[in-house]
Structure 1
Amino acid sequence: MAKKIKQYLTDVLINKIDYYVSIKKFDFDTIKEMLALRFPV
């Protein structure tokens, strides 16, 4: 179950990144936010 949730969140993140890239609003803060969500420190 937890694996499925993690996979879902990862897919959502990838989709968000693709979205930001596609609208050319990809800045450093966005990258940091995405990485922080993906790899909690």
Structure 2
Amino acid sequence: MYILNRIPRTGDHVDLEGKRYEVVDMDGNRVDKVMVMRIPTDPLK
């Protein structure tokens, strides 16, 4: 919520420290489920 500067909605995502955090499910104003995925890095860089 701090990064978005608002209450998140389903489908919102934030990329932070090589990971993507995506809101999968909300329960009212409460985040119920979050999917965390590694962001692939380019090995040639």
Coarse TM-score class (shorter-chain normalised): under 0.3
Larger radius of gyration between Structure 1 and Structure 2:
2
Taking structure 2 as the reference length, the TM-score comes to 0.24
Higher helix share: 1
Higher strand share: 2
Taking structure 1 as the reference length, the TM-score comes to 0.26
Higher relative contact order (CA 8 A, sep 6+): 1
